[in-house]
Structure 1
Amino acid sequence: MAADYDELRTDVKENQEQSLQALQSASAPTAKSVVLELDETDGLDANGPGGEIVAEELVIQVIPQANDEFTCHSCFLVRHRSQIAREKDGVAYCTDCEG
């Protein structure tokens, strides 16, 4: 007797049909209920992601440019004088920007 190996076994076929019936009978949420649920679980309010305002001051120490440094006119980074690639009309460019 020839066997058809592509055909599903009867127990697997029954199990698939039961799963399909269970999915079809399940009540799907409406679009409005999903939006309402998302709005309820949304934790952001007017104060921002953390929900609180932090009253701390950021303190940064600014160090002035030294005599052996320059500011690149292209990338605006402060570099050491050894990285000057070109200087024209009082404007310097670093080796990274001049490539």
Structure 2
Amino acid sequence: MATDYDAPRKQEEESPADSLEALQASRGGNAQTAVIDVEENDTAEGIDLPGADLSNEELTVVVVPEQSDEFTCSSCFLVRHRSQVALEKNGLKYCRDCEG
């Protein structure tokens, strides 16, 4: 059956359950409050704003040197596995993504 969605809808009589007063009465005194679970790390102190002075911060990441089975692409400068070498030219290696 085809429905004309542009046609004006017929207003049905408002049922008592749809009124605001009826909904509030059905809730009664059981007012529920939202509980927010906040962790210690979720404070404003943990947020780094753009342009913030981070000169007093220490490096907390362990930097691993390039392994024997890896190379650095001369185009994108990403460290890749040697299986990703697409081209080696003049001693420079290029990955598949850059040469693909």
TM-score scaled by structure 2?
A: 0.43
- Kindly name which structure, 1 or 2, has the bigger radius of gyration based on alpha carbons: 1
TM-score by length of 1: 0.44
